[in-house]
C-alpha cells in the first residue's frame, strides 16, 4: 500500500526504494508488482512516482492499480484482495 502525502509517496516508501534500487536492479527485473494507493483526494503524483521507479527497475505491472480517495469501501477492499491474488498468481512458477 502506498499512502499519498501531499500528492507524493510517503517518505518511508521513498527511503525503501532508495535503499533497494541498485542492489535489486538485476535480481528483480521482470517481476510483477501491484499498486494500491490511498489518498485524501488525489493519488496521481504518488502513482507517477511509483510507476517511474518500477519502470526503472524493470518490474511488470500485474494488474490495474487500485486507487482510493477518501475512506475505503467494501469494493475497494475487494479490489485490493484481487490485486494481491493476481500478484501472487503471477509469482508462481
Residue-wise pLDDT for 9-58, tens only, equals 888 888 999 999 999 999 999 999 999 999 888 888 899 999 999 999 99
Q: What is the pTM of this model?
A: 0.83
Domain annotation for the chain: domains and CATH numbers = 2-91 (3.40.50.360)
Helix and strand numbers, DSSP H then E, in the chain: 3, 6
**Cβ neighbour number for residue 56 with a 10 Å cutoff:** 11
Model confidence at 6: pLDDT above 60 = no
3-state SS, residue 84: helix
Contact (CB, 8 A) for 83 and 30: no
At residue 33, φ and ψ (nearest 5 deg) are -140, 160
Model confidence at 3: pLDDT above 90 = no
Amino acid at each position: 500500500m502506498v499512502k499519498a502525502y501531499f500528492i507524493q509517496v510517503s517518505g518511508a516508501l521513498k527511503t525503501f526504494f532508495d535503499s533497494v534500487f541498485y542492489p535489486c536492479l538485476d535480481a528483480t527485473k521482470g517481476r510483477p508488482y501491484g499498486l494500491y494507493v490511498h489518498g485524501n483526494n488525489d493519488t496521481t503524483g504518488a502513482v507517477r512516482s511509483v510507476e517511474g521507479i518500477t519502470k526503472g527497475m524493470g518490474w511488470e505491472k500485474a494488474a490495474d492499480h487500485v486507487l482510493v480517495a477518501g475512506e475505503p469501501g467494501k469494493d475497494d477492499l475487494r479490489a485490493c484482495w484481487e490485486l494481491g491474488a493476481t500478484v501472487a498468481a503471477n509469482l508462481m512458477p
